[in-house]
Amino acid sequence: MTIGNGISGPKDLRPKALIAWSSGKDSAWALHATRLAGNYDIVGALTTVTETFGRVSIHGVREELLKAQLAAAGLPATIVRIPYPCTNEIYEERMAKAMQGAITAGVTHVIFGDLFLQDIRAYRETKLKPIGVTPVFPLWDLPTDALAKDMISGCVEAYIATVNLKRLPASFAGRRFDRALLRDLPEDVDPCGENGEFHTFVAAGPMMKGRVAVSVGEVVERDGYAYADLVKA
């Protein structure tokens, strides 16, 4: 595993951190917020990719787009490949192996873009504590309606990659994450999709040095979800 930007210079004495990277707006904004705060040396991005499809797990984003996105964000990739379907045992085994490599490279913290789901936070804390790694939640408990608007005002360009069909119609897949979309969301849908209503892909924003040009291809429905096939333009 390669961690760090390879640039020589004065030693950075800040704690080394990985960011849990989903390719979506919350992890991207967590990166932005953490860089602004300046408390951690973010040395890479940790992402699970479903090896069966070559796509980011849950989000369904093509791996080539993920790599272009991370290059634009200046983040070396640590990719954890998992099968489909994947048992929790296999997931935890492969994630533990990746984390051991990170610890060997000096990583002491992992940054997450979680917003308010306490069970998810507790799971992360429980898994990381025994190996001596500290989770960081820079966006925790921020009001999600204001947060969504801050992302949009902050020039985040994101597209809905995945829709939970129990919560939203397939027509939302592929839409731009903007104020028009926020107005169209049903009242019971979180503005940031934190309850799993939708997931996004970030093509540009203040955390990236350039834009990843994408086009929206076919929308495919599978296993209760609608996936917009985002293609590198």
Instruction: Please check whether residue 5 lies inside any domain of the structure.
Output: no
| Residue in 147, 203, 223 with CA at minimum distance from that of residue 24 | 203
Phi, psi of 89 (to 5 degrees): -65, -45
When divided into structural domains, the chain yields a total of 1
pLDDT digits (tens, 9 = 90+) for 95-133: 999 999 999 999 999 999 999 999 999 999 999 999 999
Taking the chain, what is the end-to-end CA distance rounded to the nearest angstrom?
A: 29
pTM: 0.94
Instruction: Please check whether residue 3 lies inside any domain of the structure.
Output: no
Q: Give the integer Cα–Cα distance in Å for 178 and 1.
A: 36
Instruction: Please check whether residue 8 lies inside any domain of the structure.
Output: no
Instruction: Please check whether residue 92 lies inside any domain of the structure.
Output: yes
Instruction: Please check whether residue 199 lies inside any domain of the structure.
Output: yes
Angle between helices 88-104 and 118-128 (to 10 degrees): 60
Bridge partners, 204 (sequence order): 157
Give the angle subtended at the CA of 218 by the CAs of 212 and 222, to the nearest 5°. 110
- Whole domain around residue 205: which residue ranges? 16-232
pLDDT digits (tens, 9 = 90+) for 147-160: 999 999 999 999 99
Instruction: Please check whether residue 11 lies inside any domain of the structure.
Output: no
Instruction: Please check whether residue 85 lies inside any domain of the structure.
Output: yes
Report the CATH number that the domain containing residue 42 is assigned in CATH: 3.40.50.620
Instruction: Please check whether residue 2 lies inside any domain of the structure.
Output: no
